[in-house]
Structure 1
Amino acid sequence: MPVNRSDHPINITVRTEYAAEASDPAHDRYVFIYYISIINNGSQAVQLISRHWLITDATGKVEEVHGAGVIGEQPVIEAGKEHFYNSFCMLETPVGCMQGSYQMQCVDGMQFDAPVALFSLAVPGCLN
């Protein structure tokens, strides 16, 4: 079972983008792409085993997502290296947010959660 390990230096950054061409606001469909960078600043390789997301729209509706790996992969991130991927989510509102964690495993078998801080999803011009 994963434990919280604040001593394992995994750095996660997120950038988001509104996908206007895939969205249909007339039918409450807003698509957002998120770009994730996971940097392993630790001294040993880690493997991303699974993910857990909480996706919240502007009405407060929460979708919880659990799954193995990311985009069909369970990447091993060597010490000092970065893993980069992008994915997407759909909301029924033009504004929302996501947060979550990755469940990681060190080569020595130790498992830990790497938290992903809350980030915004917003159609350009919706937020000041």
Structure 2
Amino acid sequence: MQAFFPFSETTDGVTVRVSVTFLPEQSDIDGLRWFWAYHIRIENERDSAVQLLTRHWRISDARGALHRVDGDGVIGEQPVIQPGKSHDYVSGCPLNTPSGAMAGHFMFVGSAPDAFEVRIPHFPLTAPTVEQ
């Protein structure tokens, strides 16, 4: 699984794995727009179900600009993940530079009423260089 999901982080029994792919067909290099798809797998290794409530992203570009994205759930869902199960989703990120990075955290609630934070590993967004 390491090869398909090269970035992972475990917090309080919940593992977030990430793979990222540059999408040249969605990018417009002349228009200064590069686009990546990222695949997230969230694995519940706890003894009880957890529910993802919110997401918090920090997205940086090659110029050092930082963009924050906060919202409810992921792709319109607030999934409940049973013990030993996982939840996958795919989303995308455009940048106006050929490289950058993403990181962040999810807020979950489990059997206890208190919400807890699960880190999303830092991962690079890198477009392949084009020889001219």
- TM-score (norm. length: structure 2): 0.87
SS at match of 1:27: coil
Instruction: Point out where structure 1 has 5 or more consecutive residues left out of the alignment.
Output: 1-5
Whether 1:49 aligns to 2:53 is yes
**CA contact under 8 A between 2:37 and 2:92: conserved in structure 1?**
yes
1:3 equivalent in structure 2? none
RMSD: 1.4
Give the structure 1 partner of residue 107 of structure 2: 103
Distance 1:11 1:124 in 2: 28
- Give the deviation of 1:109 after TM superposition: 1.7
Q: Give 3-state SS (helix, strand or coil) of 1:25's partner.
A: coil
**Percent identity of paired positions between Structure 1 and Structure 2:** 39
Aligned to 2:20: 16
SS in structure 2 of the partner of residue 124 of structure 1:
coil
Amino acid at match of 2:117: D
Distance 1:30 1:37 in 2: 23
2:89 to 80, 85, 88: 85
Following TM superposition, by how much is the alpha carbon of 1:117 offset from its aligned partner in structure 2, in angstroms?
1.5
Aligned residues: 121
The aligned amino acid for 1:113 is E
Greater alpha carbon shift after TM alignment, 6-15 vs 53-62: 6-15
Give runs of ≥4 in structure 1 deviating > 2 Å.
Answer: none
